[in-house]
Amino acid sequence: MLAGAHVSRMHNPLLDGPTDARIAAFANLIERGTPPKGHELDALCAALGDASKAVQRRSAEALATLAERGVPLGDRLQALLEAADLRQRWGAAYALSLIGPLSLAALPTLLEVLSSHDGDLRWAAADLLKRLAEHHRDAVVDQLLAGARASGNQRKMALYCLRDLDVAAGFDAAVAGLAEGDIESRLAALALIAKVHPSAAVAAPHIVTLLDDADPRMQRAAAATLGSLGVSSGEVIDALHRAAASSDPSLQRAAERSLRLLRPGLASS
């Protein structure tokens, strides 16, 4: 039976019962020492779409172990990358990542998971996207640049991925992102600009304006970032002095730390 098709749940310990019992059934299947039967492989593949992340993870690990032993699973798992259910597709992508390098067929699923409300899944998908970029950088970067101009979690996660991949073209998307979207996405844009920019002198003015942002979190992040950027221009120093005089103690501390970092540069200028 092809993975993703209907699997009978009658008296099936791989699919029914408490999470701990099912995980134990996965372990027993691996430890048994005899090749798994078709319906057992179907059950493991079905578990990749389970509502429990623990079940998803352990079923993926079991499938990876079986693949290492020579059980042919590639076609089953690749087929699941076309499943209608996102959890099923994500589970298949994760299982395939444990077996070897992912193919581009996993890219749409990983991008979709970047929008998930589950932070653990978002960061796991980001890690797999960065690994996928090791072999398919252009395709992954193109999609991340598009995601960086989307909205919500996808924008935020795409910006962090572009930062970690050191994508120069991400700078413009991040500058645009500073003025748009939720605070989490805007903080991600700041993080990208701080690392990936044409020059620190080009990045600094964009960050200085954030010291007057409406959100105190952005003000504090900008103040801290300016110290690590290393630009000690008059504009930067004056802005940090104003921030250090703020009534917000956290902003004061961030600005004062940055001023201490930048003062050696002032002394040598």
Distance CA 212, CA 235 (A): 13
Contact in structure between 93 and 49 (CB atoms under 8 Å): no
Whether pTM exceeds 0.75? yes
**Which ranges in the chain are annotated with CATH 1.25.10.10?**
101-197, 202-269
Cα atoms in the Cβ-side hemisphere of radius 13 Å centred on 87: 15
Strand, helix or coil at 50?
coil
What is the domain class of 101-197 according to CATH?
mainly alpha
What is the domain class of 202-269 according to CATH?
mainly alpha
Q: Nearest CA to 197 among 208, 207, 182?
A: 207
Question: What does the pLDDT average to over 174-198?
Answer: 93
Could you report the per-residue pLDDT of 69-99, keeping only the tens digit for each?
999 999 999 999 999 999 999 999 999 999 9
Mean of pLDDT over the chain: 91
Kindly calculate the radius of gyration of the chain based on its CA atoms and give it in whole angstroms: 24
Contact in structure between 120 and 157 (CB atoms under 8 Å): no
In whole angstroms, what separates CA 190 from the centre of its chain?
A: 16
DSSP state at residue 102 = P
Distance CA 78, CA 141 (A): 22
DSSP state at residue 84 = S
Query: Which pLDDT belongs to residue 162?
Result: 98
Q: Is it the case that residue 59 has pLDDT exceeding 60?
A: yes
Output the CA torsion sign for 73, 78, 82, 85: positive
Query: Which pLDDT belongs to residue 269?
Result: 36
